[in-house]
């Protein structure tokens, strides 16, 4: 997910998407324990997407406090 796409999302959508991505990451870790993923770079991609969303969410919250 590109940062431009993340910035276009509303605060509510960001929070929902973060929870979804966290659950997806947890599921990937459990599935990897049973049978290794073919493409392990998916872990870092999902983690980076979550970090991008948290960054934008922090920016939104900072703007709302002003």
Whether 21 shows a pLDDT value over 80: the answer reads yes
- Model pLDDT for residues 40-61, shown as the tens digit of each residue: 899 999 999 999 999 999 999 9
pTM here is 0.89
Whether 38 shows a pLDDT value over 90: the answer reads no
Whether 66 shows a pLDDT value over 80: the answer reads no
Identify whether the C-beta of residue 11 lies closer than 8 Å to the C-beta of residue 57: yes
- Domain coverage including residue 19: 3-65
The domain tally of the chain equals 1
pLDDT band at residue 1 under the 50/70/90 scheme: confident
């Amino acid at each position: 997910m590109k940062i431009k796409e993340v910035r276009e999302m509303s605060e509510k959508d960001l929070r929902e998407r973060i929870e979804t991505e966290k659950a997806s990451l947890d599921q990937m870790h459990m599935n990897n324990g049973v049978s290794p993923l073919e493409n392990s770079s998916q872990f870092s991609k999902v983690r980076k997407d979550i970090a991008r969303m948290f960054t934008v969410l922090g920016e939104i919250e900072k703007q709302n406090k002003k």
